[in-house]
Amino acid sequence: MKKILLFVMGFAGVWIGTTPLMYAQDDLLSMLGTDSSEMKKEPVTATFKTTRIVNFPSVVNTAAGVLDIKIGHRFGFVNSGIGELFGLDQSTVRLGAEYGVTDAFMLGFGRSTFEKTLDGYFKWKIFKQTRGKGGSPLTVSLFGSTALKTQKTNNSDREDLFVNNLFYTGQLILGSKITEELSLQLSPTIVHRNLTARPSEKNDVLGIGAGGRIKLTKRLSLNGEYMYVLPDQISSEFKNSFSVGFDIETGGHVFQLHFTNSTAMIEKGYIAETVGDWAEGDIHFGFNISRVFNLKKK
From CA 296, how far away is CA 155, in angstroms rounded?
47
**Residues from 101 through 130 that contact another protein (CB under 8 A):** 103
163 sits near another protein (criterion: CB under 8 A) = no
180 sits near another protein (criterion: CB under 8 A) = yes
178 sits near another protein (criterion: CB under 8 A) = no
Q: Which stretch binds another protein (CB under 8 A): 38-46, 69-77, 80-88, 277-285?
A: 38-46
Residue number with CB closer to another protein (38 or 237): 38
251 sits near another protein (criterion: CB under 8 A) = yes
Q: How far is the CB of 66 from another protein (least distance, A)?
A: 6
- 3-state class of 222 per DSSP? strand
216 sits near another protein (criterion: CB under 8 A) = no
Identify any residues that bridge with 187 across adjacent strands, giving them in sequence order.
209
Identify any residues that bridge with 112 across adjacent strands, giving them in sequence order.
94, 117
Cβ atoms 270, 169 nearer than 8 A:
no
31 sits near another protein (criterion: CB under 8 A) = yes
From CA 250, how far away is CA 253, in angstroms rounded?
5
Residue number with CB closer to another protein (49 or 268): 49
23 sits near another protein (criterion: CB under 8 A) = yes
Cβ atoms 180, 199 nearer than 8 A:
no
Q: Contact with another protein (CB under 8 A): which of 29, 82, 163, 279?
A: 29
Torsion of CA 208, 230, 152, 55, to 10 degrees: 20
Site string for another protein, 123-162 (x = CB under 8 A): ----------------------------------------
Query: CA of 173: how far to CAs of 28, 161, 243, in Å?
Result: 45, 32, 18
Kindly provide the b/e burial profile for residues 129-146, where b requires at least 16 CB atoms within 10 angstroms of the residue's own CB: bbbbeebbebbbbebebb
Q: Contact with another protein (CB under 8 A): which of 11, 14, 42, 287?
A: 42
Residue number with CB closer to another protein (13 or 251): 251
19 sits near another protein (criterion: CB under 8 A) = no
Tell which residue, 59, 52, 50, 63, has the closest CA to residue 295: 63
Residue 248 burial by CB count (10 A; 0-12/13-18/19+): exposed, middle or buried? middle
20 sits near another protein (criterion: CB under 8 A) = no
- 3-state class of 68 per DSSP? strand
38 sits near another protein (criterion: CB under 8 A) = yes
45 sits near another protein (criterion: CB under 8 A) = yes
Q: How far is the CB of 140 from another protein (least distance, A)?
A: 20
From CA 122, how far away is CA 210, in angstroms rounded?
20
Identify any residues that bridge with 172 across adjacent strands, giving them in sequence order.
142
Q: Contact with another protein (CB under 8 A): which of 36, 154, 156, 236?
A: 36
Q: Contact with another protein (CB under 8 A): which of 91, 102, 200, 294?
A: 294
Q: Which residues bind another protein (CB under 8 A)?
A: 21, 23, 26-29, 31-32, 35-38, 42, 45-46, 63-64, 66, 103, 180, 218-219, 249-252, 292, 294, 297-298
